[in-house]
């Protein structure tokens, strides 16, 4: 006997391990390319055993997408005790930081899987609605009144902010290299400015003071 003890994972621990491997793999590929065979191999189990923990490939995909979306919404949730301006800045900073840190996974799931995987559409729609509620909450906290075109303006700003974060240059001249934080401060200021100007067009309020 070697004396080496094999640690057995509980069913919940094994599920978390498999989902975690799925998320790691999404940093390298799309959801379409996510192979349950490879997930099982990386976990050191058989493919059949993977389906002991998940009813189907669809069920596994949904668990991976749910985990990522939960992580994303948690990262963008400001402290409710914050004053209005720090609150919206915390929301924007959380969004910017998360997408920049997990860019490939974000592209693969929150953006890329939306149109190609009907099995996870409800989870992605729920995630976007959570963000939209936070945008509306930010307007309310800043004293911006409700407006007839608030909903389409909210969705339009979210699309703008997403594209800005994904496309923002880092480590380049003019791209925030001097800040030492890959341009996040500059990007946060840009996204914040767009929030005030874009959503402020509905009622033209004096919302946030200049930085």
Q: What pLDDT was estimated at residue 5?
A: 44
Count of Cβ atoms closer than 10 Å to residue 68 Cβ = 25
Q: In a 10 Å sphere around its CB, with 0-12 CB exposed, 13-18 middle and 19+ buried, how is residue 14 labelled?
A: middle
Q: Enumerate residues 6+ apart whose C-beta is below 8 A from 37.
A: 47
Give, in order, the Cα–Cα distances in Å from 87 to each of 30, 40, 63, 93, 192. Answer: 33, 42, 30, 10, 12
Q: What is the pLDDT of residues 176-188, one digit of tens each?
A: 444 445 688 999 9
Topology of the domain comprising 11-62: Arc Repressor Mutant, subunit A (1.10.10)
Q: List the domain boundaries for the chain.
A: 11-62, 68-200
Distance CA 5, CA 165 (A): 47
Structural fold of domain 68-200: Tetracycline Repressor; domain 2 (1.10.357)
Contacts of 15 (CB under 8 A, 6+ apart): 53, 54, 63
The one-digit pLDDT tens for each residue of the chain (211 residues) are: 444 444 688 989 999 999 999 999 988 888 888 899 999 999 999 999 999 999 999 999 999 999 999 999 999 999 999 999 999 999 999 999 999 988 888 887 766 655 567 788 899 889 989 999 999 899 889 887 777 777 888 888 898 999 999 888 865 544 444 444 568 899 999 999 888 777 766 655 445 555 5
């Amino acid at each position: 006997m070697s004396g080496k003890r094999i640690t057995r994972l509980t069913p919940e621990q094994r599920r978390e391990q498999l989902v975690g491997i799925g998320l790691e793999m999404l940093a390298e590929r799309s959801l379409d390319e996510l192979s349950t065979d490879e997930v099982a191999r990386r976990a050191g189990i058989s493919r059949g055993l993977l389906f002991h923990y998940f009813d189907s490939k669809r069920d596994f995909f949904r668990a991976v997408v749910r985990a990522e979306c939960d992580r994303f919404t948690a990262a963008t949730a400001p402290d409710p005790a914050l004053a209005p301006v720090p609150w919206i800045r915390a929301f924007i900073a959380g969004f910017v930081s998360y997408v920049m840190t997990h860019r490939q996974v974000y592209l693969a799931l929150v953006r890329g899987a939306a149109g190609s995987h009907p099995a996870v559409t409800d989870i992605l729609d729920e995630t976007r609605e959570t963000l939209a509620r936070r945008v509306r909450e930010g307007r309310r906290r800043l004293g911006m009144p409700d407006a007839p075109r608030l909903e389409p303006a909210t969705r339009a700003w979210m699309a703008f902010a997403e594209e800005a974060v994904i496309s923002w240059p880092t480590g380049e001249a003019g791209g925030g290299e001097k800040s030492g934080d890959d341009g996040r401060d500059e990007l946060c200021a840009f996204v914040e400015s767009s929030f005030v100007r874009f959503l402020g067009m509905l009622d033209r309020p004096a919302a946030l003071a200049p930085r």
